[in-house]
């Protein structure tokens, strides 16, 4: 399977080396879904190659692909919880409820 540069693997998985939570876009992913730090990307990104998963998560939009990726690995609920936690901490940081 050829990498189609769909961007899903830079959004869906959590990447410890980048402190990137599940389901959140890597800050190094450019608007056209390319790695802006390609030459110095972490090893885990270097080791990641296109495989069967890429085909299974094919969809017209990045959002749908990420959704499918998370569902494939049973991580949908965890990703939602992560997002909710992020929102809560941000609300707190801003002095909200």
Q: How far apart are CA 66 and CA 61, in angstroms?
A: 9
Q: Is the dihedral of CA 13, 19, 24, 29 positive or negative?
A: negative
Is 3 a residue that touches ligand SF4 (CB under 6 A)? yes
Distances (CA, A) of 44 to 13, 17, 22: 11, 8, 15
Considering only residues 61 to 80 of the shown chain, the ones binding ligand SF4 according to CB under 6 A are: none
Of the candidate spans 37-45, 74-82, 83-91, the one that interacts with ligand SF4 by CB under 6 A turns out to be 37-45
**Which position among 14, 21, 50, 78 is part of the footprint of ligand SF4 (CB under 6 A)?**
50
In the complex, minimum distance from the CB of residue 80 to ligand SF4, in angstroms, rounded to a whole number: 21
Buried b (16+ CB within 10 A) or exposed e, 71-84: eeeebbeebeebee
Considering beta carbons, is residue 9 or 70 the nearer one to ligand SF4?
Answer: 9
Which residues bind to ligand SF4, rule: CB under 6 A? 3-10, 15, 18, 26, 28-29, 35, 37, 41, 45, 50, 54
């Amino acid at each position: 399977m050829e990498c189609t540069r769909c961007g899903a693997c830079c959004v869906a998985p959590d990447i410890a080396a980048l402190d990137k939570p599940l389901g959140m876009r890597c800050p190094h992913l450019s608007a056209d879904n390319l790695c802006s730090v390609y030459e110095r990307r972490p090893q885990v990104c270097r080791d990641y190659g296109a495989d069967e998963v890429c085909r299974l998560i094919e969809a017209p939009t990045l959002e749908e692909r990420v959704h499918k990726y998370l569902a494939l690995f049973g991580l949908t609920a965890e990703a939602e919880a992560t997002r909710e936690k992020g929102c809560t901490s941000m609300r707190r940081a801003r002095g909200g409820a």
